[in-house]
A and B are shown apart, each in its own frame.
Chain A
């Protein structure tokens, strides 16, 4: 902690991680993958898959796309681990929120049916 000689002010930190030098083709592949995934989710609607299969597939495809965008386009995959965890932890709260809201929304629905 006391090796002040190695200190660097924030402005002297490396501007970006060295692997920003991906070739353009790298982004084109990511773009192509996103395009294929979108087409797949569109295809699910086109062939009219119903019920659980549809929902699970849609969610998985959406998460894959989101992961691709965040990790490749937003460069999160090459950021420092500290930043990755800081960004990925808070959305867990949204999952708690989702679970509770789903439970309660469902309960009200049941109540409404039982009353009508």
Chain B
């Protein structure tokens, strides 16, 4: 508590962190509001509609070896995203120890995870659109808003993953090329990491509230 007051009443800098990191945190709060609003709108509509909401474990089931395994693809996607978050954390850790090679390698692993996630999402979308016939304006399972919310929310999240993949590959390339040697102490890796963990964080809530609820 004492530190809280001291920091807020200090001069020059309130948080005593690099500007880029402060900016990323503030941006993430703003972004939290975007995703929060998406999910809350989804809740409001789901409460509003008179038609029944589709049973997600049935819609998202994957047909493996003769039986329908509910949410299998989603479970794999969750696993991949969490793992990529883990590799990113290790990359940040390596960056703090100024281990250039390890940082770069683990960031590239993260990028691979991101690419895998987006590809699986593309597969999921294709399957839903082509096989299940889910459209933004209607589907066979229940309320028609189901499809539009699914495409909107996962689409917006997928866009974030895609941006993150591009962002991380640029940063990792620069790290490996030695652009941050000496200056900056690889702080930018930490900032990029914050963004990537945030994408993971959003997925946690989408997984819980859209797929499982």
Contact = CB atoms under 8 A, between A and B. Distances in A.
Given A46-B70, A94-B40, A97-B37, A108 B213 contact: no
A27 B83 CA distance: 11
Nearest to B29: A90
Interface of B, secondary structure class, is: helix
- Sort chain B's interface into a size bin: 35 or more
A53 to B, nearest CB: 13
A41 B15 contact: no
B36 interface: yes
Given A27-B89, A102-B43, A112 B70 contact: no
A82 B208 contact: no
Contacts of A22: 93
Interface of B: 1, 3-4, 7-8, 11-19, 25, 28-29, 32-33, 36-37, 40-41, 43-50, 57, 70-71, 75, 78-79, 82-83, 85-86, 88-90, 92-93, 96-97, 185, 187, 190, 193-194, 197-198, 200-201, 204-205, 207-209, 212-213
Interface of A: 1, 7-10, 13-16, 20-22, 24, 27-28, 30-31, 34-35, 38, 41-42, 44-46, 48, 54-55, 58-59, 61-62, 65-66, 69-70, 72-75, 79-83, 85-87, 90-91, 93-94, 97-98, 101-102, 104-106, 108-109, 112-113, 116
Given A14-B16, A35-B79, A94-B36, 13 more contacts: A10-B13, A10-B19, A15-B185, A21-B96, A24-B90, A42-B78, A44-B212, A90-B32, A101-B44, A105-B44, A109-B47, A109-B49, A109-B50
